[in-house]
Amino acid sequence: MESILIFGPNVAETLVEDITTELRRRYGHDVVSVPVTWRAFTDGESTLRLDGNVRGRDTYVIQSTNAPGNLMAMKLLLQAANLASAGRLTAVIPYFGYGRQDRKDQPRTPITAKLVAREIEAAMGVSQPRHVVLVHPHFSQLQGFFDIPSDVLFPTEEFVGVISKLDTGGKPLVFVAADIGGVKQADVFAKRLKTPMAIVHKRRDPTTGELGEATVIGDVRGYACIVVDDMFDTCGTLRHAAVALCEAGAASVYACATHGIFSGPAVERIAAAPVQQIIVTDTLPQVDGGFSGRVRTIGCGKLIATAIWCDNTDNSLSSLTV
């Protein structure tokens, strides 16, 4: 069955290439990437035109939703495909922006993650089957914010393949959850590579939100520690964890996260952190950005392409969701 791919404006070039290459390897020429013409008005509004026929075809719109412009681009792409009479319509979201706003953590605040989920559903219309594919969202319960079928992918195999080949100078590995929320993912890695695991328990000032004392739970002395998280943004948690691990006797510290956001003071904090290498995927476009080669990007295009193939051929995605 012919599949249509529509890529949003901020999808990493490596991700576009890997997805299309893998799908064409599986399908041959039955995969078409539809170009998009974007137009900006003088007042800052934007619009688009899909430069290809999607009528009645399985259509996959691929775009991360971080930042207001990217979220709007996703909604425009989805509605354009819907109004062009696409067949089964799937929103593939490599990085779900606003995912950290998943609850009312203070009085009189919105639950923005739920709002974004509803907006994406609305843009997809109701006239055809709809589906959402997410890559490692900040919290797994995000699926419950959608009223349409959704699947969550984890790039476990991609990270295991790279981490298993790290040169740690002969030091044994231990996976470390950067905070309590990362325990499940650290445990998955530890079981796959048959290593122990540890946790960095961090405390924040309830007024300022600043990180305070960090406690390492578990034995890391003499180990090469792999700090695991879902994303690295300003890298305050990563720096805090790395310092705590070194003080607890770690031989070295590495780090991995699915999403490399690296905003605000990230460059300065990474420069000051005792971390030898940071591994992220291309769910967001990556540039060196002053990291002096310490950030390594691995591809998750094959993971997303496999999910698209499974969806298109009505095969199970369960092997990709752990």
pLDDT tens column, 241-258: 999 999 999 999 999 999
| Rounded mean pLDDT, 209-220 | 80
Asked if 160 contacts 182 with a C-beta cutoff of 8 angstroms, the reply is no
pLDDT the model gives residue 141? 85
The model's confidence at residue 309, banded by pLDDT at 50, 70 and 90, is very high
What's the mean pLDDT in 110-130? 95
Determine the pLDDT at residue 292.
Answer: 75
Task: Provide CB contacts within 8 A for 102, sequence distance 6+.
Answer: 111, 113, 114, 138, 139, 141, 142
Residue 26 has pLDDT above 70, yes or no: yes
Could you tell me if residue 126 is left (phi over 0), alpha (psi between -120 and 50 degrees) or otherwise beta?
A: alpha
More confident residue, 47 or 201: 47
For the beta carbon of residue 169, count every other beta carbon within 10 angstroms. Answer: 8
**Catalytic (active-site) positions:** 202
Confidence tier at 179 by pLDDT (50, 70, 90): confident
pLDDT higher than 80, residue 206: no
Domains and CATH numbers, the chain: 3-154+301-320 (3.40.50.2020), 156-298 (3.40.50.2020)
Q: Is it the case that residue 31 has pLDDT exceeding 80?
A: yes
Question: Which of 48-52, 220-224, 312-316 has the lowest average pLDDT?
Answer: 312-316
- Computed over every residue of the chain, the mean pLDDT equals 92
Res. 76 pLDDT band, cuts 50 70 90:
very high
pLDDT of residue 118: 96
- pLDDT of 207 > 60? The answer is no
pLDDT for 208 beyond 60: no
Residue % of the chain over a pLDDT of 90: 80
Task: Give the per-residue pLDDT at 105.
Answer: 84
